[in-house]
Amino acid sequence: MKPHILSFESFDDWDSVALNELFTVHQFPASGEVADLPDEVKEKIRAFAFKGHSRLDADIMDAFPNLELVANYGVGYDTIDVAHASSRSIKVTNTPDVLTNDVADLAVGMLLSLNRGISGASDWVTSGQWASAGAYPLQRTLSGASVGIAGLGRIGRAIGNRLAAFETDIHYYARSKKDTPDWTFHDNLISLAQQSDILIVAVSGGPDTQKIISSGVIAALGSDGLLINIARGSTMDEDALINALQTRQIRGAALDVFNNEPDIDSRFMQLDNVLLQPHHSSGTIETRKRMGALQRQNLIALFNNTPLVTPVN
Amino acid sequence: MKPHILSFESFDDWDSVALNELFTVHQFPASGEVADLPDEVKEKIRAFAFKGHSRLDADIMDAFPNLELVANYGVGYDTIDVAHASSRSIKVTNTPDVLTNDVADLAVGMLLSLNRGISGASDWVTSGQWASAGAYPLQRTLSGASVGIAGLGRIGRAIGNRLAAFETDIHYYARSKKDTPDWTFHDNLISLAQQSDILIVAVSGGPDTQKIISSGVIAALGSDGLLINIARGSTMDEDALINALQTRQIRGAALDVFNNEPDIDSRFMQLDNVLLQPHHSSGTIETRKRMGALQRQNLIALFNNTPLVTPVN
């Protein structure tokens, strides 16, 4: 008898096959209504294979009387009501570490692409403007710049390690000073933004970081500043950001995350000083396979009564 | 009396102003014919402020009986007949070091952009496909990859220093083994390409490196391989490269340099597995100002009878 689990959103084939080999997999109703699942199925479910960025609230968890684990696919679990899970002794796991390098790589790739105008330069060649109009407009150098990293967890640190090799000056904001190379600690975001030519958001999502990239932080970054966000759209005051980009209060932004993905604010599409990415910072074949494997290891650990590999609560 | 110099191609305003303050500047004829310059001007010219990628051959130099210096704007001087200059005791200078970081930054930016599909991902968002069609196709991870660098001069080394921070395994080809971190030396390009997931061309241009990226090297890179060129188009067998890209013999290429710039082979425009850039690896305001200043320092040194700052011959 394979244990029963509930699967949210669609997994890649390699994950679906593996989940179905290990478990009896039920799908969250396409209607989005948990009530559409029969009660006898709900009673059998002992774990969720969770994926995606929709909200996983108390009312969904409470529809499953025998739920023991929410195994999240991804490192961020800001959409999961962990406090409620804990109150019911439901464990939550995530998939840290395996995606750190990919997220940091994309952050740096977005930064370089924005700062050196790589997308515009590509259009310059393919449209024939190089041949007809001459040299591409000059961009700005990176070396010697001050880079501010908001949030120095695993991903923020990996970004810092990469950018230090570009001969930049690393500043960071965190709740407390960390053990780092010669990076400069800031205890508030305004100070960080003032000292930064480029500000990279790498904090966790959730209520503590809601709109921490405020109009004040954006103003402190200044008219030469670039903003990079690979964290969560919720960290950003998007109205303030869009206004700052429209009025050239900052030089540009490269964004992998947004509020209301994938139906993002259409004003972003009208801007010529942004690089927009479809939340794919962990989107490589190798990393997604590792994320799926780690999620399953947590599920297997639950059913084998061995310690969870990457517990959150 | 200000010394007379000959200026090739158009300089940025900040350079033109500075050159005109220091020297009596004559312009190379727009016709492209040195014969269109009056003899009395040719006799006055003691130095060239050279720029661009057209050929500077013996016949041009020999039209100037009192030429003492060709001050090149740029690090590569493959289009200048240095051997002939030396035979006439004409000195040649270039602008090394000041552009190294920018070139290495663009190389890494092009690599990340190609490997993570950043341009395609941007189109995915702005075209509305993210909202209508779902997640962007998965790409490939960089960390753990083997990166081969062909040519370990200043720029190749700066690229290696950056990519080592991305947890890649660095291999290089050079004429002789160099003092490096734990990077692996290869004494030939086939061996380098075989060991590389990503091959970056960073050799100097000129006869010694003509088409060294041959069909054999490209085949050795293999169907998962990426090729990055920030060196010179002349290093590449472009027919072989285009064929390899058309037939998916390699996964993709990111190219900042081409034969016959800016009128590049139109077949490049038809490919969906390339990132094309308009030879702008040193194209930042900061670096271009430093390049112009260094070029002028060499000109000033000549006329002051002090040692040239960055002599080539």
**Structural domains of chain A sorted by starting position, each given as residue range(s) with its CATH number in brackets:** 4-98+285-304 (3.40.50.720), 100-276 (3.40.50.720)
* pLDDT bucket at B52, cuts 50 / 70 / 90: confident
Nearest C-alpha neighbor of A47 from the set A22, A29, A64, A31: A64
pLDDT number for residue A122: 97
For the segment A89-123, what is each residue's pLDDT rounded down to a tens digit? Answer: 999 999 999 999 999 999 999 999 999 999 999 99
Distance (Å, rounded) from C-alpha B171 to C-alpha B168?
A: 10
Known catalytic residue: A171?
no
Per-chain mean pLDDT for chain B: 97
| pLDDT for B80 | 96
pLDDT-derived band of residue B9, with 50, 70 and 90 as boundaries? confident
Q: Give 3-state DSSP helix, strand, coil % of chain B, rounded to 5.
A: 40, 20, 40
Q: Considering only CB atoms, which chain B residues are within 8 Å of A164? A: 165
Q: Which two tokens mark B126?
A: 């702005």
Asked whether the predicted pLDDT for residue B242 surpasses 90, the reply is: yes
- pLDDT of B53 over the 90 cut: no
pLDDT digits (tens, 9 = 90+) for B260-270: 999 999 999 99
Cβ of residue A266 closer than 8 Å to a chain B Cβ: no
Flag whether residue A275 sits within 8 Å of chain B, measured between CB atoms: yes
Helix (H, G, I), strand (E, B) or coil at A279: coil
Check residue A54 and give its pLDDT.
86
pLDDT at B305 over 90: yes
Predicted pLDDT at B286: 97
Nearest to B276 among A101, A112, A125 (CB): A125
Which two three-digit tokens encode residue A258?
């947004």
**pLDDT tens string B175-204:** 999 999 999 999 999 999 999 999 999 999
Residue A1 has pLDDT above 90, yes or no: no
Is a pLDDT exceeding 90 seen at residue A10? no
- Chain B residues touching residue A162 (CB < 8 angstroms): 162, 165-166
β-strands B146-150, B169-173: how paired? parallel
Q: What is the mean pLDDT of residues B228-232?
A: 98
Q: What is the share, in percent, of chain A residues with pLDDT greater than 70?
A: 100
For residue A283, give the nearest of B250, B130, B273, B107 by alpha carbon.
B130
Rounded mean pLDDT of B204-215? Answer: 96
C-alpha atoms less than 13 angstroms from C-alpha of B294 in its C-beta half-sphere: 21
A61/A67 Cα distance (integer angstroms): 7
d(CA A160, CA A163): 5
Residue B214 has what pLDDT?
98
pLDDT tops 90 at residue A298? yes
The pTM assigned to this predicted structure is 0.95
Closest alpha carbon to B303 in B45, B17, B40: B45
User: What percentage of chain B carries pLDDT values higher than 90?
Assistant: 98
Where does the pLDDT of residue A135 fall: very low under 50, low under 70, confident under 90, or very high at 90 and above? very high
pLDDT of amino acid A52 = 83
- Per the CB < 8 A criterion, the answer to whether B162 and A165 are in contact is yes
Contacts of B108 in chain A (CB under 8 A): 108, 112, 166
A136 — contact with chain B (CB < 8 Å)?
yes
pLDDT band at A9 (very low <50, low <70, confident <90, very high): confident
Q: Give CA–CA dist A291/A99, Å, rounded.
A: 7
> Containing H/E element for A172?
strand A169-173
Residue A8 C-alpha, separation from nearest chain B C-alpha, in angstroms: 15
Peptide linkage before B262 cis (omega within 30 of 0) = yes
Token pair for residue B105? 């930054």
Give me the residue from A105, A130, A162 closest to B278, CB to CB.
A130
The two tokens of residue B83 are 């051997």
Mean local confidence (pLDDT), B11-36: 95
pLDDT over 90 percentage in chain A: 98
**Which among B110, B142, B263 has CB closest to A118?**
B110
pLDDT digits (tens, 9 = 90+) for B79-115: 999 999 999 999 999 999 999 999 999 999 999 999 9
B232 in active site? yes
Q: How much is the average pLDDT of A173-197?
A: 98
Mean pLDDT for all residues in chain A: 97
Calculate how close chain B gets to A1, using CA atoms only, in Å.
34
Is the pLDDT at B35 greater than 90? The verdict is: yes
Confidence at residue A53, expressed as pLDDT on a 0 to 100 scale: 79
Both structure tokens of B176: 């002789």
Map residue A50 onto helix, strand or coil: strand
Residue A165 pLDDT class (50, 70, 90 cuts): very high
- Residue A39: CB atoms within 10 A of its CB come to 10
B 88-127: CB under 8 A from A = 101-102, 105-106, 108-110, 112-113, 115-116, 118-119, 121-122, 124-126
Cβ neighbourhood burial of A9 (10 Å; 0-12, 13-18, 19+): middle
Closest CB to B112 among A112, A121, A141: A112
pLDDT of the residue at B226? 98
